[in-house]
Chain A
Amino acid sequence: MKEEATIAPTNSIKMLRAMVGIGALCGLLIVLTYEGTLPRIERLRAEALQKAIFNVIPGISKTQAFVYQNNKFIPSDKKEADVIYAGYDDQGIFKGVAIPASGQGYADIISILYGYSPENQQVVGFYVLESKETPGLGDKIEKDPTFLNNFSSLDVALDKAKNVIMNKVTAVKRGAKTNAWEIDGITGATISSRAIGNIIENSTNKWVPIIYENRAVFKNKDNE
């Protein structure tokens, strides 16, 4: 820099011109790419979510989003907070709801989607939407068959008054599962499997009582 300074200092107009010119050019390029790719990105995201919903409620062929407002579930096609997705089979029979949930994992926030069947009062499916858990250890929550098997019939039955879940969902050590509301954990991924347990526990505590209470809304959807 010293040598350059002694040779000929560039005047500031030139520097300003270069920076502003490059800035404008770069801005234009980014905006063009954003506009060009946005429709496809949105479609892919919606498809991924749709696939996840089909994944967590077995045997469905149609879904409908519902938003919870003023203590009522209203059909919705917008992406708002507190949206859940009801799933229906070929005959239009209501099979269950898919609920997005998230919470702190070992590395970062884990986002999941799980299926709940008010009829069986069980969690019937589970899918990891986003996680940054350690590859080879924590990311087993996405693919370990024994772990995923927990969520085909996880008990979240309500008490007699139908406003609290009777037994809290808890993650236990691999092989220590004795009750239907326990999650058989993963060896080497204790924190990640406990995190999943906590996320499901918190989310079911919030959603299951209100969904169960309002289950008629989902069933009547096709008659409306």
Chain B
Amino acid sequence: MKIEQYLKIRIMSNLAINTDQSKSEPSSTDEFIKGLWKENPVFVQVLGMCPVLALSNTAENALAMGMATAFVLLMSNILVSLLRNFIPKEVRIASYILIIATFVTITDYVIQSISVDLHKSLGAFIFLIVVNCLILSRAEAFASKNTVGKSIMDALGMGLGFTLALFSLGAVREVLGNGSIFGIALFPEGFQVWVVMILPAGGFFTLAAWLLIFNMFKQKSTTS
């Protein structure tokens, strides 16, 4: 793939997103679907890379982190949307961060009460959800301007898209780096695992491979 061609497609797809948003009244289903494919937070918007790279080393971690983020995204979108006429413009970012931080703390307690082991493996990354730019960007760009119903659909779509993307990275990395999926060994004894895949470098490799595949599909669909 030529670089110019790639860039052209990236720009075109970004334009497509922008015009879509300004178009009149997309339905709730559209708001949901866009997070899965056209505006996928990881593969298209490339947002929230820190947890994506750090916690996609096993399928279980990826799924747990994706769900935790989706929960925070959903709850903060609901609250921001409910309070959108109450929050003055000048203090909106501070208010959003406060709301997001609250739900992250709640998520931390809930995960601890689900499983000690899960909390052990997610560890410090739970609190980093506060600064996940995906959540703040949805609060600022969507929930603060739309009704509660639409914000819920938007959060569900984006959350699910984020979780799926994380899971697709985590599954590949665990299979190659650990020879297992969800902790269940896949290969016979003697399989030499690619340790690099579960180290940070493997996150970049896998992300690059997925972005390549994603953009190849997009390119095909735009040319045809």
Contacts and interface: CB of A to CB of B under 8 A. Distances in A.
Interface of A: 4, 10, 14-15, 18-19, 21-23, 26, 29-30, 33-34, 37, 40-41, 44-45, 47-48, 130, 132, 134-137
Contacts of B6: none
B138 to A, nearest CB: 18
B199 A135 contact: yes
Given A44-B112, A44-B113, A136-B198, A30 B106 contact: yes
B123 A132 contact: yes
Contact of B116 (A10, A23, A48): A48
Contacts, number: 72
B177 A44 contact: no
Contacts of B57: 135
Nearest to A131: B120
9 contacts: A10-B89, A10-B90, A19-B94, A21-B86, A23-B98, A26-B102, A44-B116, A48-B116, A137-B199
A136 B95 contact: no
Nearest 10 interchain pairs by C-beta: A26-B102, A10-B88, A37-B113, A40-B113, A136-B195, A37-B109, A33-B106, A48-B116, A136-B198, A41-B112
Contact of A18 (B87, B105, B124): B87
B91 interface: yes
B115 interface: yes
Interface string B146-184: 000000000000000000000000000000011000000
B89 A30 contact: no
A18 B86 contact: yes
A81 B95 CA distance: 40
Interface residues of B, number: 33
Interface string B12-51: 0000000000000000000000000000000000000000
Interface of B: 57, 83, 86-91, 94-95, 98-99, 101-103, 105-106, 109-110, 112-113, 115-117, 120, 123-124, 177-178, 193, 195, 198-199
A29 B103 CA distance: 8
A41 B115 CA distance: 8
B141 to A, nearest CB: 17
B99 to A, nearest CB: 7
Contacts of B88: 10, 14-15, 18
Given A15-B90, A135-B198, 19 more contacts: A4-B89, A15-B91, A18-B86, A18-B91, A22-B87, A26-B98, A26-B101, A33-B110, A40-B113, A44-B112, A44-B113, A48-B116, A130-B120, A132-B124, A135-B199, A136-B178, A136-B195, A137-B195, A137-B199
A139 to B, nearest CB: 10
A37 B110 contact: yes
A135 B105 CA distance: 26
Contacts of A18: 83, 86-88, 91, 95
A204 to B, nearest CB: 25
Contacts of A34: 109
A15 B91 CA distance: 7
Nearest to A134: B199
A166 to B, nearest CB: 36
A40 B113 CA distance: 6
A19 B91 contact: yes
A22 B198 contact: no
A121 to B, nearest CB: 32
A224 B146 CA distance: 70
A109 B57 CA distance: 22
A18 B88 CA distance: 7
A190 to B, nearest CB: 15
A15 B88 CA distance: 6
Contacts of A44: 112-113, 115-116
Contacts of A134: 199
